[in-house]
Structure 1
Amino acid sequence: MKLFGNGSERADDPDTKDEGTLAEQGYKQELRRDWSLIHNFGVSFSIISVITGITTLFEYGLTTGGPGVMSIGWIVVSFFTMFVGLAMAEITSAHPTSGGPYFWAAMLSPNNELAAFFSWTTGWVNFVGQFAVTTGITFGCANLIATLATVKSTFVPTPGKILGIHAALLISQGLVNTFGVHILRYLNNSSITFHSLGVFAFATAIVAKAPTHQSAKFVFATF
């Protein structure tokens, strides 16, 4: 139980409960828990990045699946993805460690002999997935920056220039995560505001300025 400066004890403090849960599992808390709910939400919200999806994948969805796949597919996928999030939230509440999925894989292994294998496999799959996602999103951002640079200028976005922008973005991300991790919470908060206002602006402009509006049949039944 954690003692505070005034000599009182706070058994109901969330940090104290998490420390106790870790102690029960044989671990001592080493990292600070100083991110609030909104900070953690900002991480996920930024990764989802609705604006990035609109600018980089909207045309791909329309040409390969059509409006029906994009509208109904979004609803169906969102519904089942919610169960994944709920399951992960339940595991996190039971095993509040910084290791995340690879630690959970070991703890949920059916026997100790397979724990290391499941943990190793989960860790590498998660790492490769994060690597691919970061690279893909950053490449989309590089293309967006290159396109914006052509507005009222003579800039020509050649593959080499786009690759250079991509590399610069990846390096800057690495530097921030390595040496400036303490400012990520503020960047995430800014991202929440930017994405919320951006999505609202997109939706408002489309509804207000679109020359034509399609029927519900086109949106939900055209494949």
Structure 2
Amino acid sequence: MAKAEDYGATGMHRRESKIPYSKEDCPRSSRSSEPADDLLEALGYTQQLARSRSTLSVTFMSFVLASVPYGLSTTLIYPLTGGGPSCIIWGWVAVCLFMICVAASLGEITSVYPLAGGVYYQTFMLCPVWCRQLVAWLTGWAFVLGNIIITLSVNFGTTLFLIGCVNIFQDGQGNGVFAANAWQTYLIFLAITLLCNAISAWGNRWLPMLDTLTVIGTFVGVLAIICCTLAIAAEGRRSAAWAFGGFEVTSGWNPPGWAWCVGILHGAYATSATGMVVSMCEEVEKPATQVPKALVGAIVLNMLCGLVFLIPLCFVLPDISSIINDPSGQPMPAILRSAIGNEAGAFVLTVPIIILGILCGVSCTTAASRCTWAFARDGAIPGSRLLKFDQVNDKMGIPLNSMLLSMVVQILLGLIYLGSSAAFNAFNGSGVIFLTLSYVIPVAVSFFTGRKTIASGKFNLGAFGVFANVVSIAWCLFAIPLFSMPSALPVDMSTMNYACVVFVGGFAISGLWYYIWGRKNYSGPKVTEVTEELRRASRTSATMHM
């Protein structure tokens, strides 16, 4: 039996190799990650996924998960109606600063517990024994539902954005050329969902390279958009004072400050998926150091890319009311058509964003399948053993059945759109709420138990870590009610934000399932002698540092 001292206080430094095969028999990426593999086995799990990702590739994946130009384009209606250019730019900066704190807080914990279970596993390990089973269960379901719903939201957003881009082309009456009905919209969504799953499943070994190419393509596409819009500016340019400080509320919310807050959903949506990369820990060579760096680095990269993208757009914004009422149904195509003055030229500039949306869907699909698989292998998902949600496909090297489960849930939830066009708002809001809550639960548990485990981690941020924890908890308490609000007033059945319904319904079902089945059949992640020794070692180390 391996002892905790073989791995150090955090379990990440092994003093001697216990790998039962020679180094020559395994690939280079596996050899470089032997300590991580040993720790995984000591904690009761078998290494089943190939460790093929470096710090840079994980950072790029985290960047692609956010897909800033795409995420900000598909939800631009929120800040436009919530405050105009000031909400677009400064709302984005504010959300990124909050999310840097969330990423830093998660990074500290991940450096101690770098497993694919992510926040679910971390919550279980950090919680007091008397409540950790229930709290981990609820965190796990919030994380899984958040992953799946955000993936659904991304694919649905790509669908609506694609239709809006096609409708850049208008007939003589100013109407878009493709008035898609609900069934046509759903079928396009279905095709995009199947495409993203196919790429993620069959191209798994090339995904790190694809992420790298996506980052390069993103900056090239953003550069093309800002150069063309600023150079042509067919309807003129705004003043710097208006671009950075213009404040126009058209959402109907009062007071205006609250309208501004509701408008920052676009920033929260674009950055919410960043923490999903924690589920990739078992595919990273040195997860205890690489994943925390990637979490924080990706947010900084996203913030800079977002500013480069948004600021030029604010200089060429046409009348906001004309954008909101444009027949295309999407602000970004309308802005580009106005700035370029040519339908074909505007459509060409949207192509990189459409491609980015699809690739963002691929990354979200990959992350969602990993967190679903990690939750299933601990027996928390119904039928996981029978339907093999807890297994990795030998030929493809991925948790294929978990990926298919996630896909089926997305396809079924997408049917809601056939009954209500407000479904997309519900997907956006509830996905952000689920993920934000799942991120902050382990952070809150760690903070309110004295950050004992963090003291021995390799990404301990000290005083800034305490500050980041406080900001993260405050952001969660603010975000949950905020993103349950409708984007505009007055509200009717078609404009209501049903995010709160999805959120409360998801939690109610998970709580009921725990009461009916979980409390008797679910015991949480695997607990071994080494697991408990690591907990004790961490607390001893924390005491010595006090």
- TM (normalized to structure 2)? 0.36
Say which SS state the counterpart of residue 104 (structure 2) adopts: helix
- Given the alignment, which residue of 126, 130, 134 partners 1:113? 130
Q: Name the % identity.
A: 25
Residues 144-178 of structure 1 show CA distances to partners (whole Å, capped at 9, x for unaligned) of 32344455996543332221100111122233334
Residues 25-82 of structure 1 show CA distances to partners (whole Å, capped at 9, x for unaligned) of 4545333211122322232212211221343222331112222222222222211211
Is 2:216 the counterpart of 1:188? no
- Given the alignment, which residue of 101, 122, 128 partners 1:104? 122
Give the AA of the match of 1:38.
L
Contact 2:57 2:208 in 1 (8 A): yes
Is 2:67 the counterpart of 1:44? no
Is 2:78 the counterpart of 1:60? yes
Contact 2:85 2:242 in 1 (8 A): no
More helix by share: 1
Within 5 Å, give how 1:147-158 maps onto structure 2.
147-149=164-166, 151=169, 155-158=178-181
Distance in 2 (alpha carbons) for counterparts of 1:201 and 1:26: 50
Within 5 Å, give how 1:66-145 maps onto structure 2.
66-109=84-127, 111-145=128-162
Shift of 1:104: 0.8
1:9 aligns to what?
none
Contact 1:19 1:29 in 2 (8 A): yes
> What is the CA RMSD across the aligned residues, in angstroms?
2.8
2:223 aligns to what?
200
Give the aligned length: 217
Distance in 2 (alpha carbons) for counterparts of 1:125 and 1:53: 21
1:220 aligns to what?
245
Give the AA of the match of 1:69.
C
Distance in 2 (alpha carbons) for counterparts of 1:157 and 1:138: 16
Distance in 1 (alpha carbons) for counterparts of 2:129 and 2:104: 26
Contact 2:156 2:189 in 1 (8 A): yes
Distance in 2 (alpha carbons) for counterparts of 1:15 and 1:70: 42
Is 2:214 the counterpart of 1:165? no
Question: For residues 221 and 65 of structure 1, do their structure 2 counterparts lie closer, same or farther at Cα, with a shift above 3 Å needed?
Answer: closer
Distance in 2 (alpha carbons) for counterparts of 1:157 and 1:90: 47
Distance in 1 (alpha carbons) for counterparts of 2:222 and 2:74: 14
Question: For residues 77 and 149 of structure 1, do their structure 2 counterparts lie closer, same or farther at Cα, with a shift above 3 Å needed?
Answer: closer
Give the AA of the match of 1:5.
E
Distance in 1 (alpha carbons) for counterparts of 2:162 and 2:243: 33
Give the AA of the match of 1:168.
A
Say which SS state the counterpart of residue 31 (structure 1) adopts: coil
Distance in 2 (alpha carbons) for counterparts of 1:157 and 1:27: 48
Give the AA of the match of 1:216.
A
Gaps of 5+ in 2: 1-16, 26-30, 172-176, 249-546
Shift of 1:190: 2.6
Distance in 2 (alpha carbons) for counterparts of 1:182 and 1:14: 18
- TM (normalized to structure 1)? 0.82
1:10 aligns to what?
none
Give the AA of the match of 1:4.
K
Give the AA of the match of 1:22.
L
